[in-house]
Structures are given as C-alpha cells and as structure tokens.
Structure 1
Amino acid sequence: MTLIHRRGLLAATAAAALSLCASVHAQGGLGSGAPVRLIVGYSAGGPVDQGARLLSIALSKELGSTVVVDNKTGANATLAGNETSRANPDGLTLWFAASPTITISPNVMRKMQFDPVKDLTPIAPVLSYYNVLVANNNEPFKTTKALVDYAKANPGKLSYASAGVGGSNHLGTLLFAKRSGIELNHVPYRGNAPAMTDVMGGQINMMMDIISTAGTYIHSKKVTPIAVTSPQRNPALPDVPTFAESGIDGLKGFDVGGWYAVYGPKGMSPELQMRLNKAINAALAQPELKAKYKELGYDEWTGSPQTLSERAAKERQMWSTVTQGIVVD
C-alpha cells in the first residue's frame, strides 16, 4: 500500500469515527460510555451538594454510566443553570437544582442569563425539604409564641441570618414575620455555614436552615430549635413543633418548603427526557438511598416532568407576592 493510500485510509477511518461519535451524540450520548455531568450550583459539602452526591451514586447504577458531580457556584446558583441551558441536550449534562433558583430568583434577580421555563427541560423531581427556625441558646424565647411576644414587646431588636438575599431561608423567615405581625432585621451572609456560626456565637438571634444540616447543631445542643416549616412534624426532629402548632392565627396552615430536582438543557427529546426520568425514579427507589435521605430529614418526591413543572409554576407565583421590593443584582 502506498503512502498516499495509507493517508487516504486513515482519513477515511477518522471521518468514520467522527461520524460514529456524532451519531452516538445525536442519539442521546448515554450509550457512548461518557460520564454524565451533574452540575450543582453550590459549594461542596453543603446540603444541595450532599443530596446530589447521594443521587449520583444510585443513578450511576441505573444508567450504566458514571455520574460525576460538578460544582459551579455563583450568582445564587444561576451560573449552574445558565451553563446547563447552553449545553448539548444529549443527556450528558444535567443540573441538580434547588427550588429557590427556579421559583425565587426569577422574582428577585435584576437580570438572569436564562429563563428557567424556556431554557431548560424538566426531567424529574427528587426530594422535598423543610427548614427549621433555630435560635441562639441564650435567647429568652424557646417557642414560636414566646418569640412573637418578645418581638412585639421589642420591635426591631431581633435579627435573623440567611445564606443570602432572596434565598429560601431569607424569604421563609420574612413570610413568618409578616404572618405573625412582627418586625425582624435581616442579615444576609455568603452561605449557611457562616450564618449558623454567628447564631451559635450570639451575634445573630436566629435563622432558618434546612433540617438536614441544622439537625446536627440541634442534636449537639449548639442551637435551640423553635419550629419547623412543614405542615406536620418532621421525623428527623419529632420533638420540634410546627409553626402551625403555635396557635397564632396568621400561622395556621404555614407550609413553606423547598425541593431538589433534575433539569436538562432545552431541546432535549421527549424520549431522552422520559428515559432519564425513569432512571431517576428507579434510583430513588433503591433502599439504601431512600434510607439515607429519610435519615437526613428529606421527604421523597417522585413523579413526572409535568409534576415538576406544575409545582415550580405554583411556587413562582406564591413567592412573587412575598418578594415585592426585593432586588438582587
């Protein structure tokens, strides 16, 4: 074989390989053996990252492909959403989203680089979660009613921390204050960990945090639990009452939670969307994952892409009434 013929054969082989790769890519990518990237908009070690890493292990078994968590932080997790929206819709790039970025950020951010409705493909709900309001151990109040009475007797004196303006723990506490008729001062932090540190240290009176992470501080008696934001008591904190149990009229039916869900880029085929939905639901049915999520205080939430879309739309509308006047650059 001449050199020219060899070069021609190599060129033809390379072209065929590229064509095959393109074909696999076009068919969804999941059969190519390439890892699936599960983007998380928060730093490693936090509750969202924790939930994603547990899912990634179970989902790898269902897909037959390695699922790798990729932390892309910044801009209230909208950088992760924007990167997902621009990815190839082949199933190899997914986003493990927390509900505030989907339901709250569109109401408060001055400018978002993507539209959660138009630029993403909803794939599957994963978990529901609730917060718990905790206070510094030296505060004179230990119950919701005592807190409300103290705040009314000392208007503007109490402060609460959050992981940032427009987050669920900011707006959840704001909603509690509005419904109970009290005034609280908001002090935003860059994340839950430094906020909780100052609550424990007495620089801040209280804060809401996800039960899965706050439970550690409650069980070690580093903070005092006041109430959970769920309509019923949480199995992970059975001795902590709900806000509705306080007997305060404005808190009847108080039910403020969040959720995690998986989204893909826009343009994903319905077949691939449902293939991933089925795999995620199967992963969530694995006994080991179910037990771990329950231990952390999460509620299982499974269903269709439509189930996810409907809840997201309903909560965007709800938060729009709470966030009026709040703007995040």
Structure 2
Amino acid sequence: MRFICPFAAGGPTDVAARLVADGMTNALPQRVIVENRTGSGVVVGTEAVAKSARDGYTVLYSTVAHAVLRPLFANLNFNPVSDFQPVALVGTIPMLLMVNNDVPAKDLQQLVAMFRSKPGQYNYGSSGAGGAVHLATELFLKQAGDLKVNHIPYRGSAPAIPDLLNGNLTMFLNVASDGITSVQRGTTRALAVSSAQRLPQLPDVPTFAEAGLPGYEAYTWHMLFVPAGTPDAIVTQLNQAVNKAMRQPGVTQRFTDMSIQPNAESTPASAAAWLKAEMEKWEPLVRASGITAQ
C-alpha cells in the first residue's frame, strides 16, 4: 500500500505520514510505504491519487491544502471533493502568534492596536502564499478589523524565523510544531494560540478567544483520502486501521511531541464533514483576499 504525500521528504507532514504508515503496517496485512510526490503545491501528488485504482492500495496523505485547491488553481484536472473519499482525520495542528521580542505589544489587543495605528507599516511572514499559515493570518487580520499588514511569503517556516528574530518581521503565525521551541527558549514571544484550548507545552499562552478575539480558530490538519468509488468495505477497513494506528502509544506520543493533536476516533463521515466545514471557511477567504498559488 502506498501513501502519496504531496510534501517534501523530511518535512513535518512527511514525518507524520511515516508514523501513521508504520502504525497501519502493524494493523494491516500489507506494508504501508510513503511516496513523496511534489509539484505545483500539492496538485501533482493529489492528481495521482485521484486517477489511481479504486482498490485501497493508493492513499493520499494531505493537509488543509486540499481544502483550498479549487480557489487557488483554476484548471485542475480533478475535483477535490467529488473525486475523493475521506478516510480519517488523523490530527490537527494549532498555530502560535509569535512576535519579535522587541515588539512593544505585550498581548494580542496591544498588537491589534499597534497594527491599527499604522496600517501597512508592519510585516508578517508565512511559509508560502496560499498555505495554512498565510490563510490563518489573513483570517486573523480580517476578524480583528481588516488590519493592513504586509505579507512576506517564504519557502517554508524555517527561513522566516531569522527574519522574525532580527525584526524584519513583526509577526509570524506559525504552526505550533515549528514555533514552540523558539518560544520556550525565549527567542520569540507567543501572544496567542489558535486552538480552542491552551497548549500543554505553553500553558501560559492564551487562546485567541481568551486574548480578546472570540470565534477565531485555525488549524492545519492531516487527513487520509482514497479515490471516490473505493468500495465501502475497503474504506471501513482503512479507517479502522488508521484509528488503531493512532491509538498506539508510540504514535500518540510522537504526534503529541510534534504538537499535533491526535485523533483516534475519526470516521469517514466525520472526516468528510470536517473537510466540508474547512472548505466553507477557507474558500471564500481565498477568493476575497485575492490569494494566488505561487
């Protein structure tokens, strides 16, 4: 069985995919291997799964990027909804609103006031145009009052951190798995976390709701898909194997260590409902903001 991961080898999504694949190998008769197939964002790998056999042997391991394919790419050769059957939502990853240590704002409300006082005078970074970090930041700026802050995209999170440290960036709403270490070391400050609950690793960092922006939540997430038309019995078998893998202590602990909130109770129906809600949340934002894939 192949997991097609449309992200680069060695990155956080790839690492998580390999953990799940190893866990499923212990729950299935087949060995599960991960194949990284990148290109045009996640399009190349996703299309490969859409056009694969409906036999359960080719599985897509993707993220929130799947939820914004339609508005980002005008000429897809597949439909992100009708060509896929969600199998399971395996985990969610909240984000940390991080600022440079020299930023005078000590909490979220002070940061919002600072941005409002000087529109267009500050910068924020993202791990790429149209990615989860970019979308989450635009949602924050919109919900906080259509704040005007300049976007600087990077090729991943790692290159953005030095510019946050040296002050070229004022703010970086980074995925928690990438941002926790710098906050714990004190090289950056976190003003809020985008999940409904605080992170156990950073118990003093409030949620956005606690910090004064109720209703704001944003995650990247990991989900397994098979091509639409895969027999229900196979989908059920895969779902059970995924949930069994996610209950293995080693997998659960590694996910938690990576700040991924593991989910061992997903069903194909609940995964499909999650995807639908995420598309309804992010697609209008992408279109309204004029975000394009790069």
TM range (shorter): over 0.9
Aligned to 1:313: 276
* 2:198 is equivalent to residue 233 of structure 1: yes
Aligned to 1:287: 249
- Mean Cα displacement is larger for which, 52-61 or 230-239? 230-239
- 3-state DSSP class of the match of 2:191? strand
- Mean Cα displacement is larger for which, 182-191 or 319-328? 319-328
Contact residue 169 and residue 209 of structure 1 kept, 8 A:
yes
Alignment length (residue pairs): 290
- Quote how far apart the aligned CAs of 1:132 are: 0.8
**Aligned equivalents of 2:162 and 2:84: distance in 1?**
36
Alignment partner of 2:91 out of 111, 123, 127: 127
Q: Deviations over 1:71-122 (max 9, x none)?
A: 11222212111111111222221111102x2212222322323211121222
Aligned to 1:275: 237
Overall identity of the aligned pairs, in %: 32
- 3-state DSSP class of the match of 1:139? coil
- Quote how far apart the aligned CAs of 1:276 are: 0.6
- The structure with the greater share of residues assigned to helix is 1
Contact residue 134 and residue 206 of structure 1 kept, 8 A:
yes
**Which has the bigger relative contact order, CA under 8 A and spacing at least 6?**
2
**Aligned equivalents of 2:39 and 2:162: distance in 1?**
21
| Counterpart AA for 1:38 | F
- Quote how far apart the aligned CAs of 1:174 are: 0.9
Contact residue 58 and residue 289 of structure 1 kept, 8 A:
yes
- 3-state DSSP class of the match of 2:92? strand
| Counterpart AA for 1:304 | T
Q: Deviations over 1:156-202 (max 9, x none)?
A: 11111112221111111111111112211111122222222322232
Contact residue 61 and residue 224 of structure 2 kept, 8 A:
yes
Show structure 1 runs of 4+ deviating over 6 A. none
Q: Which has the larger radius of gyration?
A: 1
Contact residue 123 and residue 277 of structure 1 kept, 8 A:
yes
Unaligned runs of 5+ in 1: 1-35
Alignment partner of 1:172 out of 136, 139, 162: 136
Unaligned runs of 5+ in 2: none
Q: How much is the aligned-residue C-alpha RMSD, in angstroms? A: 1.7
Contact residue 236 and residue 296 of structure 1 kept, 8 A:
no
Contact residue 69 and residue 80 of structure 2 kept, 8 A:
no
Alignment partner of 1:246 out of 206, 211, 222: 211
Contact residue 123 and residue 168 of structure 2 kept, 8 A:
no
